[in-house]
Amino acid sequence: MPTAKPRIAVTLEQSTFEVIARMAALQGVSRGSVVADLLDSVAPVLTRTVALLEAAAAAPKQVRDGLREVAEAAHDEFTAIAGDATKQLDMLLDAVAQAGSDPHVVTRGSGITPPVSSQLPKKPRKRSKPGGTAHE
């Protein structure tokens, strides 16, 4: 179906292409849709970055130098945060891989048996009389 939206062509590394293809298959959407969603999610940050770069280009050299220092510090901070997030995802992936392909499925509760001391004794059930009414 034709669209009025602008299009671009992008050349990717093979590994990036494969990850996008896998994500598309898991979500049941096209590869282009995955890329468009990713770009849409970073568009607000990109817009602010472009505005900052435009302001820096119009500023005197001293201001540009100061902005560069601030931008480099922010970049370093974001890189550290992204690295931490990547490490957390890697740890999760390792844990899932170690669990094997047949993990214990919990259908109710936490799946953890409480210690014997915390288990309450069960109340006796009321028995039905013939005819369907319970006696006490």
Q: What is the pTM of this model?
A: 0.46
For residue 71, the tally of other CB atoms under 10 A from its CB is 14
- Kind and range of the H or E run holding 78: helix 61-99
- Name the residue among 55, 79, 80, 50 with its Cα closest to residue 67: 55
pLDDT of the chain along its 136 residues, tens only?
A: 577 889 999 999 999 999 999 999 999 999 999 999 988 888 888 898 888 888 877 878 887 788 788 888 888 888 777 777 777 777 777 777 776 655 555 555 555 555 555 555 566 666 666 655 555 4
Q: Identify the three-state secondary structure at position 10.
A: coil
24 contacts 33 by C-beta, under 8 angstroms: yes
